[in-house]
Amino acid sequence: MMNTSALDAVLAQVDQGLDASLERLKALLRIPSISTDPAFAQDCRRAADWLVADLQGLGFEAAARPTPGHPIVVAHGPQTPGPHVLFYGHYDVQPVDPLALWHTDPFEPVIKEGPEGRTIIVGRGASDDKGQLMTFLEACRAWKAATGSLPVRVSVMLEGEEESGGKNLPGFMRANAQELRADVALVCDTDMWDRQTPSITSMLRGLVGEEITVTCANKDLHSGMFGNAARNPNQVVADIVASLRAPDGSVTLEGFYDDVPEITPELRAQWEGLGFDEAAFLGSVGLSIPAGEAGRSVLETIWSRPTCEINGIWGGYTGDGFKTVIPSQASAKISFRLVGNMDPDKIRAAFRRHVEARIPADCTVTFKEHGGSPAVTVPSEGIYLRQALKALTDEWNKPAVITGSGGSIPVAGEFKSILGRDTLLIGFAHVDDAIHSPNEKYDLESFHRGIRAWVRVLAAFADSAKA
């Protein structure tokens, strides 16, 4: 066994260094690394450089590696015997709009009292994913400070385009597969089951993003002079959008459910055992009536059923006042979340056929693709998983559970398909963190116990090598 006094010393180091850890997190949060907006490209670069310097300070060989987009930070700790882990996080963040709804500057992090007397840190990226990725780096720092070294070999890969499609990562991983191949990949970008219960996520949904623009007349028209005679693209887009779901909540694309498996009775029983509170979940966002496929539980529809969501619709006049116009163009952004073996290319093609069949012969449609990735299922057994579950259980004093997730983290699939490695998805976020939303926050408890949890996970991996 890892000598327990070493582990205790590292955990004590975490507790004692927490204020300094928070200062470093704040410094990273002050950099507005919004990857989707070219105006912030320099800031993405600055965030990457900041992380490189931090990792070098921890004794890693680190560099910001160029891509056609934002750099990817890659770092390698010293060679040690035993397992080699590759940690992944992303340093880019979502845009801050609507800015008016923030109570404080999104890039001037503040620590304050949150709901139920909890202490929180507020700022864009506090949870997704700067707060989460820093839990791992701070765990490495504590190991170094308390014992002079890391208990296992650690490599780190930090992406700067996760929130904007992540186009350059797969190519980078393919080109550097030899260098990046470790025994197991760790990703810190997911939630806990609830405030007291740590979890490892075993399923993520995939994603297909599509944007359509429908053009009817060759210019905007007076809606009195042309109304009834000229086709209205807003109507065409609305009809298409409305046709995507049947009244029972199912998605109508041809073949949509072909590769969707039913969950096993064992998994269903395990999920039921988690005791999910549907009313509280919907109530927390001001709703009470589940949408989606009839006859399935909310948890099941989020974790194991595909969805079609209309993320944006626009066209015509939406400013103040009123304008009687038939616009020339209208658009929509639509995403599909995939499960099981659904193939992103096949779903995209089915969607395009569905749309094309509904475009009047004298109108046109153009498509813009916004990424695609399949669903990910990670094995729910194995030595690293068992060790990690135990480490989380020890930290929270409550058995860690295995959960699904409705979100998408494409890199988890790429670790398998490109590097041939399984991923452990371990995160400390909470559903009320408001990721992608105004006033994003991370609980100080998530940050603190997250660091302590990684300290324990690394210790457990070192042990598993000796066992």
Q: Helix 130-147 vs helix 18-29: angle between axes, to the nearest 10 degrees? A: 140
Q: Strand 110-113 and strand 119-122: pairing? A: antiparallel
How far from the centroid of its chain's Cα atoms is residue 109's Cα? 21
- The nearest distance, CB 246 to Mn ion, in angstroms, is 30
CB nearer to Mn ion: pick between 133 and 350: 133
Site for ligand BES contains 54 (CB under 6 A): no
Q: Say how many CA atoms lie within 13 Å of 362 toward its Cβ.
A: 8
Please tell me whether residue 92 binds Mn ion under the rule CB under 5 A: no
Q: Is 189 in the site for ligand BES (CB under 6 A)?
A: yes
Of residues 352 through 411, those in contact with Mn ion by CB under 5 A are none
- Exactly one of 43, 54, 92, 128 binds Mn ion (CB under 5 A); that residue is 128
How far, in Å, CA of 222 to CA of 328, rounded? 11
> Considering only residues 398-427, where is the footprint of ligand BES by CB under 6 A?
405, 407-410
Quote the least distance from Cβ 88 to ligand BES, whole Å.
11
Smallest distance from Mn ion to CB 128, Å: 4
Is residue 121 within 8 Å of residue 444, measured between CB atoms?
yes
**Among positions 43, 92, 159, 189, the unique one binding Mn ion when judged by CB under 5 A:** 189
Rg (CA), the chain: 24
161 binds Mn ion (CB under 5 A): no
> Per rule CB under 6 A, is residue 159 in the interface with ligand BES?
no
Minimum separation from the CB atom of position 340 to ligand BES (A):
17
Please choose, out of 18-26, 125-133, 350-358, 373-381, the segment that lies near Mn ion by the rule CB under 5 A: 125-133
- The contacts of residue 70 (CB under 8 Å, 6+ apart) are 33, 35, 41, 44, 45, 48, 92, 160, 161, 168
Whether the CB-CB separation of 189 and 128 falls below 8 Å is answered with: yes
Q: How far apart are CA 361 and CA 15, in angstroms?
A: 67
> Which residue's CB is nearer to Mn ion, number 109 or number 410?
410
Minimum CB separation of residue 393 from ligand BES in Å reads: 21
Torsion of CA 76, 79, 84, 88, to 10 degrees: -10
Site for ligand BES in 196-255 (CB under 6 A): 207
Rule CB under 6 A: which residues touch ligand BES? 128-129, 162-163, 166, 189-191, 207, 371, 405, 407-410
Rule CB under 5 A: which residues touch Mn ion? 128-129, 189
